[in-house]
Structure 1
Amino acid sequence: MSTETLTVQLAERSYPIHFSVSATKLKAVVAKLRAANQSVRVISDARVLNAHPNYLAQAGFRDSEILSLPSGETTKSIEYFSQALSFLASQAANRDCALFAFGGGVIGDLAGYVAASYLRGIDFYQIPTTLLSMVDSSVGGKTGINLPEGKNLVGAFWQPKAVYIDAALLQTLPPREFAAGMAEVIKYGMLADIELFKHLEALDGLDPASEELPGVIRRCCEIKAQIVADDEKETAASGGRALLNLGHTFAHAIENVAGYGEYLHGEAVAIGLELATQLSVQLDQIPAGDIPRVRRLIKQFKLPVQLTSELKVVDLMAAMQRDKKNRNGRLRFVSMSELGTAITSEGIESEVVETIWKDAGAE
């Protein structure tokens, strides 16, 4: 495929991320799979299919091969996971089936878990359609669904065979969704690349038509690919893949307590990045002057830095206790030793975190 490519290095499970993709180029991929006697199926959602009504047909997929699910975070549930499995089983899909995710992070996470589970594992491909999924969730192999008790509590590591990024798909993305994706972009600058952070500061905004966007997407993928290659299954005693969760301990608690859908994931992450910066200052890891700098950048991309709904501190703290990063019942956070360098921190007093929540508007 004649596209710019980045490889996620995972030994025998290494796979490419293709940039500058189009439906026409994808058609060649689908044709090659069919020629190898692989069947193909697609999981997408109603909003994506309405925004891109002809894309999958142009890429060589047939209507009968496509499952359309409702849009939104609530789709990452046991109910729709079961529905997707039944879709494959009812069509007698076998182990030679290649499953494509055509959508944002929700569809990618759900479809990936379906691929990991059906017949104990079938080939999986990602075609991300949102900025958030292009720079983050489509890369790295984390798949799963939510439970009422918390986000991503059920899932598996299941690496895709390839990721196909077509930045033109972002042209139909609602401004709120695009802004939500920018939270993950900002996160990469804060956790691993101060030059990316400075570059974002210097930009006069960013939108789907910006010439800067493809380079920004690629840089985010490079950062994540390297971290995933070093710690694929988040088993490092400190640092490692957990660093990608900068701001997410706060964000997941917000989503869980507010109810999935009240905040877009990226909006919760934006607030989480602000609060993780405050935590880093409280731990004397970074200077207080970094708080307004981070806050300015988040606001520059029209993202929230404080809670916009009434949430209770006791509920937020309880949700944090269920975070997957915790060790031995102790809260474990990702903070920063300096802006552009993330670290893991644990043994933090609850009172410190409670104060940060209250300053963010929690009751």
Structure 2
Amino acid sequence: MENVEVDLGERSYEIKIGTGLLANLDQYLVEAGIKTGTKLLVITDKRVKQLYGEDIEFSLTQSNFEFRLTAVPEGEGSKSLEMAQKLYDEAVDFGLERNSVIVAFGGGVVGDLAGFIAATYMRGISLVQVPTTLLAQVDSSVGGKVAVNHNAGKNLIGAFYQPETVIIDLEVLTTLDERDIKSGLAEIIKYGVIWDQDFFEYLKTNSEAIKNLDFEILTKIIQRSCQIKAEVVAKDEKEEGLRVILNYGHTIGHAVEALAGYGEYRHGEAVAIGMVSAVKLAHKLEMVTENEVQKQIELISSLDLPITFNSLELDDIIAKTKQDKKVQDGRVRYILPNRIGEVEVVSGISEKLIIEVLKEQCQEGLGCT
């Protein structure tokens, strides 16, 4: 098992990464300081409950935790204030108290939703993240961002709220479909671009092993991804400066994801498209060379992620970016690379230039105007 420390002073916590960790979930909760007998509301989705519900129940019973397992429907539709209200009702019915714990057991939707409940119920109770998708393991479960969606945009209603621990079991990845694995790989590529050129090269070298779910390689890339995010979060927990670089590829990506209808593109697929937009913008602004553009596109493509999109109005994409959470003083801020391993925040980019890039990414004859 590998460990990564998220250094946030009194709110520091450990990320545990390995295989077979779910079988000993109760022990890891105790190691994180949660007393046996504590009430746990385990929030999951219906598919994960079907796959692992009995295993979780057996593990928690071993240490005499008082728990309830509740499942929400799969998909972004569950990340809403309406679903939050149902979970608050569940928490009240179960009798959760200030010393109780919310366990987020699922992918990014469950992690964000359950984390939002933990952050707001009784002004905040303890949270444990047990991510079951690659995307959640390397991104949403680490760093303390929790939220629900609003009609105007993704994750607009939320908080910064750190967990007590994060428990990552690689074996759950074997039950994911191929698209969900690829979705997580996009965020992993992101870490190489924004922070670590050697890591980017490691991904290139090992792309086939990664696609074949080589656990040894996956452990290394998950650990390094978590380390990078932990380093950034430790320097800027509440996104007052540096942490914004973690949104590389997300400005266009979130717009594509929302406009296509959540589910048409997985989050990571949309981010992959957004990363291509970002590096192409950087090239047009003479920040990176054509060679660096091609390196990113080649790695994204080698991991079977999309680099183009279809059937979207380009003006709608521009309009959607203006609802992005990184907008400051009415100006959309883009995270753009200076080179592989380093990015900066750029605002004031002309819409004409952005449209130019989007036209290059739009597949011919598929409805982009």
Q: Under a length normalisation based on structure 2, what TM-score does the superposition of the two structures give?
A: 0.93
Q: C-alpha distance in 2, partners of 1:75/1:13?
A: 28
Q: C-alpha distance in 1, partners of 2:162/2:249?
A: 24
Cα deviation, residue 216, structure 1: 0.5
Match in the other structure for 2:220: 215
Question: Does the CA-based 8 Å contact 1:171-1:209 persist in structure 2?
Answer: no
Cα deviation, residue 74, structure 1: 1.6
Q: Is 1:15 aligned to 2:13, yes or no?
A: yes
**Which residues of 2 match residues 284-303 of structure 1 at below 5 A?**
284-303=286-305
Q: Could you say what the CA RMSD is over the residues aligned between the two structures, in angstroms? A: 1.7
Q: C-alpha distance in 2, partners of 1:190/1:17?
A: 23
Match in the other structure for 1:195: 198
Deviations 1:68-114 (A, max 9, x none): 01111221111211111111011121111111000111100111000
Q: Is 1:228 aligned to 2:233, yes or no?
A: yes
Deviations 1:275-333 (A, max 9, x none): 111011011110012222211111111110000x3110111111100111111101100
Q: C-alpha distance in 2, partners of 1:217/1:101?
A: 19
Question: Does the CA-based 8 Å contact 2:39-2:67 persist in structure 1?
Answer: no
Q: C-alpha distance in 2, partners of 1:266/1:156?
A: 22
Question: Does the CA-based 8 Å contact 1:30-1:59 persist in structure 2?
Answer: no
Q: Is 1:185 aligned to 2:166, yes or no?
A: no
Identity, in percent, stands at: 38
Question: Does the CA-based 8 Å contact 2:37-2:66 persist in structure 1?
Answer: no
Q: Under a length normalisation based on structure 1, what TM-score does the superposition of the two structures give?
A: 0.94
* Equivalent position SS for 2:226: helix
Deviations 1:221-272 (A, max 9, x none): 0000000000000112xxx000000000011111121111111101101101
* Equivalent position SS for 1:337: strand
Match in the other structure for 2:27: 28
Deviations 1:189-239 (A, max 9, x none): 111111111111112421334421101100000000000000000112xxx
Cα deviation, residue 41, structure 1: 1.2
Match in the other structure for 2:50: 50
Given candidates 72, 76, 93, the residue that maps to 1:73 is 76
Q: Is 1:94 aligned to 2:94, yes or no?
A: no
Question: Does the CA-based 8 Å contact 2:113-2:148 persist in structure 1?
Answer: yes
Structure 1 residue runs of 4 or more that deviate by more than 3 Å after TM superposition: 29-37, 61-64
**Which residues of 2 match residues 1-363 of structure 1 at below 5 A?**
3-20=1-18, 22-30=21-29, 35=35, 37-60=37-60, 65-205=68-208, 206=210, 207-236=212-241, 240-307=242-309, 309-361=310-362, 362-363=368-369
Q: C-alpha distance in 1, partners of 2:143/2:290?
A: 33
Cα deviation, residue 343, structure 1: 1.0
Question: Does the CA-based 8 Å contact 2:39-2:66 persist in structure 1?
Answer: no
* Equivalent position SS for 1:164: strand
Q: C-alpha distance in 2, partners of 1:301/1:18?
A: 26
Q: C-alpha distance in 2, partners of 1:314/1:154?
A: 25
Q: C-alpha distance in 2, partners of 1:349/1:273?
A: 18
Cα deviation, residue 55, structure 1: 2.5
Q: C-alpha distance in 2, partners of 1:37/1:66?
A: 15
Q: Which amino acid aligns with 2:160?
A: F
| CA 1:257–1:48: 2 relative to 1, 3 Å | same
Unaligned stretches of 5+ residues in structure 1: none
Q: C-alpha distance in 2, partners of 1:142/1:120?
A: 16
Q: Which amino acid aligns with 1:121?
A: G
Q: Which amino acid aligns with 2:238?
A: K
Cα deviation, residue 51, structure 1: 2.6
Q: Which amino acid aligns with 1:58?
A: F
| CA 1:31–1:191: 2 relative to 1, 3 Å | closer
Q: Which amino acid aligns with 1:84?
A: L
